[in-house]
Amino acid sequence: MRRLLPVAAAVGLLLLLAGLQPWLRFVLTIALSTGLAVLGIAMLLRAGQVSFGHALYVAAGAYAVAFARPHTGEGLLLLLLAGLVATGLGLLVGLFVTRYRDIFFGMLNLAFSMVGWSLLEKLYGLTRGTDGIRVARPTLLGFALEGAAWEWALFSAALAAALLAGALVASYLRSPAGEALGAIKTRETRLEFAGISARRVLLQAYVVSATLAGLGGAIGALATLHVTPLLAYWTHSGELVFVAILGGTGNVLGPFLGAVVFELVRVHAAAAFPDAWQMILGLVLLAIVLAAARGLVGLLDDLAVRLGWRG
């Protein structure tokens, strides 16, 4: 029960914010979609692995929506499809990259995402290059919605997806295969001597992380109704890693907390410093990593302890 308290508080706060201003509804929908992708990154970080290329799966989900939209009008079907496409791609790439760790794992993911980005830019006939593809607004559960109703519906769908994914991932991380991720980080060979394939452990998490990223990308595509190759660009992958570290990886709330703060700050800051945004992210990332801080979740945790809410 005590575990559910922070979740309930977070949901209440999000609903309150979303009710405050229409633009907040949009930003929070985007934040939840980012949070889904970051949740996957956080799983991999448990295994001590960092992917610099997960924007590839976000883009895969988003483009799946864009390509499928002319053929179907139902939004939930589009989400499902996007999840499947990202899962398939994740399995394909994952079979290769999970043979590697550390530097290779990070850089191979970056390389694959840059190949994906180039293809999205170059295959103009298919993807319309840097112009990207506009997505017509679909129905949700058969309802054709407009204006605030659509925004609320999509926001609710994103929130539901986040809650479901958070709950499933939290439970997965407590299962043997989830706990084994931490064992990959500390002593992978011993897993093999327990009769467990470390690669399979990592592959499973990798595929899940691709699914989550694809779902996030699809929700983002439905919110913006426009997809471009930039979704797959390395700076976007970098942002996902940044948010994972910002939020903290100790708890599944971290990715969503990090994403909400990140998107809220970005609305103002990225416009104010368009050419220095990456630099600011880089500096903050350095500060968090070098100070060995546990991110926002860690901060809240310390606060809770200080206030005597937790022992």
Partner 1 sequence: MSGALLEARGLALAFGGVRAADGVDLEVAPGEILAIIGPNGAGKTTFLNMVTGYLRPQAGSIRFAGREIAGLPPRRIVRLGIARSFQIPQLFAEHRVIENVALHLAARDGFWAPFRPLLSPARRSEALAILDDLELAPLAEARADTLDEGARKLVDIAMALALRPRLLLMDEPTSGVAASEKHAIMDRLVAALRRASVTAVFVEHDMEVVARHADRVAVWSQGRIRAEGPPEAVLADPLVRREVIGVEGAPC
Partner 2 sequence: MGLLFLLAALDGLAYAAQVFLVAVGLTLVFGVLKILNVAHGSLFAIGAYLASTLVGLVGVPWLSLLALAMAALAVGVVLGPVIERGLLARIYEKEHVLQLLVTFALLMILEDVQKLVWGVQPLFEDAPVRLLGQVEVGGIVYTVYQLLLLPGVALLVLVVLAWFLRRTLLGRTIVAVTHDREAAEAIGIDSRRVYLLTFTIGAALAAMGGALAAPTTSLVPGIGVQTIVLSFAVVATAGLGRIEGAAATALLIGLGRSFAVYFTPELEVVVPYLLMVAVLLVRPAGLFGSTELRRV
Interacting residue ranges for partner 1, rule: CB under 8 A? 168, 171-172, 174-180, 182-183, 185-187, 189-197
Q: Choosing among partner 2, partner 1, none, which partner's interface includes residue 235 (Cβ < 5 to 8 Å by kind)?
A: partner 2
- Closest contact distance (angstroms) between CB of 236 and partner 2 is 12
Query: Cβ closer to partner 1: 84 or 168?
Result: 168
Comparison of 57 and 105: residue with beta carbon closer to partner 2? 105
Binding residues for partner 2 restricted to 98-137, rule: CB under 8 A: 99-104, 106-108, 110-112, 114-115, 118-119, 122-123
Q: Which is nearer to partner 1, 182 or 282 (CB)?
A: 182
CB 267 within 8 A of CB 259: no
Query: How far apart are CB 303 and partner 1 at their closest, in Å?
Result: 24
Q: Which two tokens stand for residue 47?
A: 């295994």
DSSP letter, residue 132? -
Residues 240-269 that bind partner 2 (CB under 8 A): 241, 245
- Give the Cα separation of 54 and 106 in Å (integer): 10
> Residue 104 to residues 50, 112, 113, 238: CA-CA distances in angstroms?
10, 12, 14, 16
**Residue 183 near partner 2 by CB under 8 A:** no
Q: Please say which residue, 176 or 308, places its beta carbon nearer to partner 1.
A: 176
Choose which of 275, 307, 308, 311 interacts with partner 2 (CB under 8 A).
275
- Least distance in Å: CB of 174 to partner 1? 5
What residues from 75 to 104 belong to the interface with partner 2 (CB under 8 A)? Answer: 96, 99-104
Question: How distant is the alpha carbon of residue 157 from its chain centre?
Answer: 15
Helices 277-290 and 234-247 meet at what angle, rounded to 10?
40
Shortest distance, position 189 Cβ to partner 1, whole Å: 6
**CA dist 306 to 163, 300, 302, 310, Å?**
28, 10, 6, 8
Helical axes 75-97 vs 198-224, angle rounded to 10°: 150
Specify whether the CB–CB gap between 240 and 50 falls below 8 A: no
